[in-house]
């Protein structure tokens, strides 16, 4: 048995590899605030994220989104 991270079916993070983060939650749970703060932090680190807004009820978000307004 290996004790390495990801040895039990998960995937271990490889330095420099892309990360995919999906944010789900009930209305009013803080998803937009979380993504806004996360994108601001990443921009400050000169590591701009690629953001996709898949919520058809939201036409504008308070952070830069690469793809939005999906109908």
Separation of alpha carbons 71 and 64, rounded Å: 19
Contact 11, 3 (CB under 8 A): no
pTM (predicted TM-score):
0.68
Instruction: State the burial class of residue 60 (Cβ atoms within 10 Å of its Cβ: 0-12, 13-18, 19+).
Output: exposed
pLDDT in tens, the chain (71 residues): 445 455 455 566 788 788 889 999 998 899 889 999 999 999 999 988 998 888 777 778 888 788 776 55
């Amino acid at each position: 048995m290996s004790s390495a991270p990801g040895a039990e079916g998960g995937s271990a993070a490889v330095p420099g590899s892309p990360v995919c983060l999906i944010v789900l939650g009930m209305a009013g749970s803080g998803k937009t605030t979380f993504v806004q703060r996360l994108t601001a932090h990443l921009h400050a680190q000169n590591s701009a994220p690629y953001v996709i807004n898949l919520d058809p009820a939201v036409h504008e978000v308070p952070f830069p989104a690469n793809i939005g307004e999906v109908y």
